[in-house]
Amino acid sequence: MIKETSEARPMVETILIVDDTPANLGVLAETLGAAGYRIMVAEDGEEALAQTAQSIPDLILLDVMMPGIDGFETCRRFKALPATRDVPVLFMTALNETVDKVRAFAAGAVDYICKPIEHEEAKARVRTHLTLRRLQRELERELALKERFMQIAGHDLRNPLCLILMAVGMASRERGRPEEAARRLEDIRESALQMRRIIDTFLELRPPGSNGAGPARIDLNVMVEAVARQHALAAEDKGIRLSTEISAALPTVRVDPAAAYQALTNFTSNALKFTPRGGAVTIRTRGMDGAVRIELQDSGPGVPESERGLLFKEYARLSPKPTAGEESNGLGLAIVRHLVESQGGRAGADFPAAGGSIFWFELPAG
């Protein structure tokens, strides 16, 4: 039974009414249905449990005295199930003794309504507990989002921080060579700016890849050269030949620059991490039909075919290991996919027969 009110609702909330008296069910269902809620009904505890196995309500109105399992036991079973554990339960009862009310709360109820039911009171209590439930869900979403941000920030801050520490170490060994020292200072500046972008995104609680100023038209060739410069020291430290192959007349893309930069730095640090000493990594740009592709080709061990389905999944543990003991937590590729897809693009990987890997992402030209 669904009835709409004149008051706009972002979503229709569902109430399960459990009562063994059909007359009570009908009147209460009509009252709450007229208030704009979707109504589910059940005449005993077993039927109520069976219904919630198919559809989870937002709130349950539960009679205490019913045949079979009573309301107290029904409530306990709701609270024992992961799917209905957090659904608020309001008892409907003619029992007025304190001990009965205590039993209701002990079983997991959040409130109770005394019989005979005053319908205005019932609607008020329902509104209150549905509002509390919505606020609880919003808080849970915000906490989950914050935890996700912390995971991404923790992962993506590690790379520029390592580059800063590496540049500081190199600069300390190059005293008396002002040109080299200036290069290291610029490396430190670029890495620090990247860290600031990541921290700003986190502190403003914007989804990673969402720029508060909106998307901008950018030249990915310029971005590729900047990322290559930033990682040149890390490549040099492992004896890896890091090069770029820039496509002439590359179309621009309209995306969040921070998202594209973060995705590319993740791919680049990942390629350097899994390429052995003395190997090669090439960052390449290509114009596609309506899109621009960036490819990271490395001379690493590749990924066994049996494990390729795990690529881009969070915390995936694959058999290839970093070649110089670098830390890997299985988040980098998943972050790239999230960032790229947030900009309307896609990411993937190819494995040439000659060996190595080509990790790529595409962004729509515009």
- Residue-wise over 279-307: b if at least 16 C-beta within 10 A, else e? bbbbbbbbeeeebbbbbbbbbbbbbeeee
Question: How far is it, in rounded angstroms, from Cα 310 to Cα 269?
Answer: 19
Instruction: Answer for the pair 112, 94: CB distance below 8 angstroms, yes or no.
Output: no
- Quick: pLDDT tens for 82-122: 999 999 999 988 877 677 778 888 998 998 888 888 888 88
What torsion, rounded to 10 degrees, do the Cα atoms 141, 144, 149, 150 define?
150
Beta-carbon contacts of 26 under 8 Å, excluding residues fewer than 6 positions away, are none
**What pLDDT is stored for residue 152 in this prediction?**
65
Which of the two residues, 119 and 78, has the higher pLDDT score?
78
Judge: domain 141-364, CATH 3.20.20.80: no
pLDDT of 67 above 90: no
| CATH architecture of the domain with range 14-117 | 3-Layer(aba) Sandwich (3.40)
Beta-carbon contacts of 142 under 8 Å, excluding residues fewer than 6 positions away, are 205
**What pLDDT is stored for residue 203 in this prediction?**
55
pTM of the model: 0.54
Packing angle of the helix pair 332-342, 257-274 (nearest 10 deg)? 150
What residue spans define the domains of the chain? 14-117, 141-364
Question: How far is it, in rounded angstroms, from Cα 216 to Cα 41?
Answer: 52
Q: How sure is the predictor about 198, in pLDDT bands with cuts at 50, 70 and 90?
A: low
Cα 350 to Cα 126, 305, 344, 347, 363: the distances in Å are 55, 11, 20, 11, 17
Beta-carbon contacts of 41 under 8 Å, excluding residues fewer than 6 positions away, are 16, 17, 18, 19, 25, 29
Question: How far is it, in rounded angstroms, from Cα 31 to Cα 359?
Answer: 59
pLDDT of 330 above 80: no
Enter the tokens of residue 38: 């979707």
- Quick: pLDDT tens for 273-327: 899 999 999 999 999 889 999 999 999 889 999 999 999 887 777 888 888 777 7
Domains 14-117 and 141-364 share a fold: no
Instruction: Answer for the pair 340, 361: CB distance below 8 angstroms, yes or no.
Output: yes
- What type of residue sits at position 54? Q
**What pLDDT is stored for residue 58 in this prediction?**
94
- To which residue do tokens 């290509």 refer? 286
- Quick: pLDDT tens for 121-135: 889 999 999 999 888
Mean pLDDT of the chain: 83
